[in-house]
Amino acid sequence: MSDKIKLILTMLGFLLVVIGGLYWISVFARQNKIQGIEAMNHGVGYSKGIITDFHSYKGHTLTVSYKLNGRSYEYDGGWDRNPKRLNKGDSISFKYARSNPEMILTELNDDY
C-alpha cells in the first residue's frame, strides 16, 4: 500500500473518531437536559444560595453554594443574563427539582 493511501486512511479514521466523539457529547448533553426538565416538571422548590465563583470572560460561568434539608450542594453552570449585576459573594435565587436538589435553575437562566 502506498504512503498516500495510508495517510488518507489514517485521516479518515481520525475524522471518524472526532465526529463520533462530538456526537456522543451532544447525545449526553441532550439526555441531561431532558432529565433536568423532567425532574423540574415533577415539582420544584425555591431557595437562595451564594455565588462563590463568577466569570463572564470567554463564556458565562458561575458556581453557587447552597444548603437544602441540612445538606450542602454546589452547582457549576452557566448563565444567560445578569440584569441585577450579580457577582461573586452575592446572594442568588434559584429553583430546584424536589426529586433531585442537585438540579437547579438560577435567576440568571432564561428558563427560570
pLDDT tens for each residue of 74-89: 999 888 888 889 989 9
According to DSSP, residue 98 is labeled T
Quickly state the pLDDT bin for 57 (edges 50, 70, 90): confident
pLDDT for the residue 26: 87
| pTM for this entry | 0.67
Instruction: Give the chain's mean pLDDT.
Output: 89
CATH 2.40.50 applies to domain 44-106 = yes
Q: Are 68 and 101 in contact (CB under 8 A)?
A: yes
**Can you read off the three cell numbers belonging to residue 24?**
456522543
- pLDDT of 43 reads 86
Pairing between strand 44-55 and 61-68?
Answer: antiparallel
Question: Any idea what the Cα angle at residue 69 is, between residues 77 and 81, rounded to 5°?
Answer: 25
pLDDT at 90 over 80: yes
- Any idea what the Cα angle at residue 112 is, between residues 31 and 27, rounded to 5°? 15
